[in-house]
Amino acid sequence: MNQFKITTDPAGLNQALFEVTHGLYVLTAVHGGKMNGQCLDAVMQVTNAPPRIAIGVGKKSLTHEMIAATGKFALNALDRTDPRCPDVVRRFGFQSGRDVDKFADFTHIAGENGCPLLPDSKAFWECTVIPELTVDLGTHTLFVAAVERAGTRADGDPLTYNEYRKTMRNRR
């Protein structure tokens, strides 16, 4: 075990969790005539028949409020080969929708559930929350949702969170 750096402190545990591999997405929602989006890495496919995903969303976020109110969201997989990918991460990951309209002058289309879709993403999923499977995690909510509609592009590659941390983060 001497090749591992063993830790039990919160900062060390958080650092170790960065080794969990997963994608980086833009989560979008609408409510009351407004739309918002945020970067999200806490996403997991939980079943394939029926198709369901789970997302962990911080309760303080505007996107969380919108999803809680409507039960609808869209998830957009970022395309790491898109040269604008770092700008998308900055737009949706480093500012609050309470302070700025993240979709002002930003190309998007309305999905069938009304949530914004990013046409340059690698893939998207339009989802409906299953209320009885929603779990309160204290600071976050785990929303389990049915995937109602999805789209993929043949070109591009999904951005992983680990890749973002190693390369894209330095471009802020």
Is 60 exceeded by the pLDDT of residue 143? yes
From the number of C-beta atoms within 10 Å of its C-beta (0-12, 13-18, 19+), residue 41 rates as buried
CATH number of this structure's domain 21-171: 2.30.110.10
C-beta of residue 160 within 8 angstroms of C-beta of residue 78: no
Is 60 exceeded by the pLDDT of residue 104? yes
Is 80 exceeded by the pLDDT of residue 18? no
The arithmetic mean of pLDDT across residues 106-124, rounded, is: 95
The more confident residue out of 1 and 70 is: 70
Phi, psi of 135, rounded to the nearest 5 degrees: -125, 130
Does the global pTM surpass 0.85? yes
Average pLDDT, the chain: 90
Please list, in sequence order, all residues whose beta carbon lies within 8 angstroms of the beta carbon of residue 92, skipping any fewer than 6 positions away.
26, 37, 38, 39, 102
The more confident residue out of 70 and 94 is: 70
